[in-house]
Chains A and B, each alone.
Chain A
Amino acid sequence: MIRLLLLMLPLAFSGAVHAAEPVALDEPVAATVTEPAATKEATADADDDGEAAPPQVRVADPFIDLHTGPGRGFPKFQIVERGGLIQLLERRTDWFLVRTAHQHEGWVHRDQMVRTLTEDGEQLEVKEISQHQFAAREWEFGVMSGEFEAASVISLYGAWAFTENLSLELTFGHVMGSFSNAEYLTLHLTHQPFPEWWISPYFQLGTGYIRTDPSATIIQTEDRSEQLTHVGIGARTYLTRRFVFRVEYNNYVVLTDRNNNENVEEWKAGFSLFF
C-alpha cells in the first residue's frame, strides 16, 4: 500500500506543476484584475459626498469625442482614449454629459456611448428608441388639429396600449366655430391591425359627451350637453425617436333631444409621443 502511495507521488506533483505553470505565465492577468479595485476606491470616494455616485464606464473605442454641447455641430474639445474611465452625469435626447478622470465635462453621442464597457467589462446597453419600440409602446400622448364640421378643432389625447393591436384612448377636443364653441370628451377603443407597417392604419369606435356653447354675441341660447358616439379611421407613421405623425377621420352621431340626431364629420392631423 505504501509502495502504491509512493508511486502516486509523481502524479500528484505533475498535477501541481500543471496548475502552477500558467499562473507564472499569466502574471499580467493578476495585475489587471487588481485594477477594478482602484476603480472601487474612486467610487467609494464619490459615495462619501452623500450623493449616489454616477455610473462609470470604460472607453472601448480607440477614443471618444467630447463636444461642448448636446448637438452634432458643437466643437469637440477633448478626447478620452481607450481604457479611460468616464462618469455618466446626465442624458439629453441622444447626448450624454460625461466627466472624465481629469474633471473635464462634455457631451458624447449615444453612438459612441454604446461602444463603452461597464465595470463588469460588458457592453453598455443604451436604449435606442426606434420603430420597434413604437410597436411595443404602452403609452401615447398627442395633439391633433383640423376641422370639426365647419369649425376648427384642437384635440389632446392619451392612449394606453394594452396589447400590440388594441388601445384605449381618451380624447379631449376643443371646437372653435363662428356660431358656437364646443368641448368634447370621448373614450374609444382603437384597433391597429398592422403595428409594424411604415404607414399603419387603425380603426376606432367610441362614445362620449359634447358640451356646446353658442356664441354669446350672436344668439342667446343655453349651453347644452349631449351624448355622442363615433367611428373613425386613421393612420400613423413613425418619424423619429418617440415621435409619430397621425391623421384621422371621425364620424360622430350626436344624440340630441330634438327630432333628428346630428351627424358631424371631423378631419384632423397631429403628432404624438409614445413611451
Chain B
Amino acid sequence: MESRIQSLFLTALRGLGLAAVFVLGIASLGAVATAHAAEGDSQPVYDPEVERRAIDEDLIDVNDLEIGLTFGVLSIEDFGSSAVVGAKLTYHISEDFFFTANLAQSEAGETSYERLSGGAELLTADQRQYQYYGLNLGYNLFPGEAFLGSGRAINTSFYLLAGVGSTAFAEDDYFTWHVGAGYRFVPLDWLAVSIDFQDHVFKHEILGESLQTHNLELSTGITVFF
C-alpha cells in the first residue's frame, strides 16, 4: 500500500527535485511508523500492572526431616526389662527410603542370679547404665491409609529398619546391629506418631563367656516434620 502511495507522490511531485526527496524521506518515516505500530499489536494494549513474581523454590517449605522423642520398654537380655527414653532424627530420602539416627538411654535391672543369691551384685549402679545409638536405613514397605470412622483417613506406613550402632553398657562399648519394623501414622501434615519394634544385637562377655544377646525394644515415637 505504501509503495502505491509513494508512486502516487512521485507522480504528483515529479520534477520538483528537492521536494520529492523530502517527501520520500517523510514517506519512509511513515512506513517505519506503520511497521512499528503493527509490531506493537502483540504487546498488551494496557498493562494491568500484575506483580511479576518468579516462583522461587525456596518459598516452598521442604519438609523432609522429622525429629522427636521415643518412649518404650527395653528388654535387656539377662537383665530384665526397663523403661527406655530416646530421641530420633529421620531424613526422608525418597518416598521409599529414609535414614534414621536414634539415641536412647535405659538402665539394666538385676539378673535372676543376683535376685536369687540375694546380695551378690554383678554390676555397680553406674555399670547398669545402658545407652545406645543407631544409624538405620528404613524402607516404607507398605504405605497406606488408616480410616477413622467414615469421614477421616490418616496416612500410614509399615516400614522396615536395619542399621548399625553402638551400645554402651557395663563400662564398655559394643558394636550393635539394629533390625526392626515399625508403623507410622501421620495424623497431621507436620506430625507423625510411630510404633517401633527393634532388636539390638550385640556380643558381650559380662557374664564370663562370650554371648550374643538380643535386646528387644518396643517404643512409641512422636515426631514433627520440618
Contact = CB atoms under 8 A, between A and B. Distances in A.
Interface in A199-250: 215-217, 240-243
A176 B171 CA distance: 12
B55 A216 contact: no
Contact of B54 (A15, A73, A94, A120): A120
Interface bracket on B: 35 or more
B30 A243 contact: no
Given A18-B37, A93-B93, A273-B91, A119 B53 contact: yes
A37 B50 contact: yes
Interface bracket on A: 35 or more
Nearest to B174: A176
A15 B30 contact: yes
B143 A69 contact: yes
Contacts of B2: 14
B175 A176 contact: yes
B145 A74 contact: yes
A197 B194 CA distance: 39
Give the interface SS of chain A, mostly helix, strand, loop or mixed: mixed
Contacts of B205: 178, 217
A2 to B, nearest CB: 13
Interface string A125-168: 11100000000000000010100000110101000000000000
20 contacts: A4-B19, A7-B9, A10-B5, A12-B30, A14-B5, A19-B37, A29-B44, A36-B48, A68-B153, A72-B95, A74-B155, A92-B64, A97-B189, A125-B55, A154-B164, A154-B175, A176-B173, A243-B97, A271-B99, A273-B91
Given A71-B95, A93-B92, A151-B175, 8 more contacts: A16-B37, A29-B44, A30-B45, A74-B145, A89-B61, A91-B63, A122-B54, A154-B175
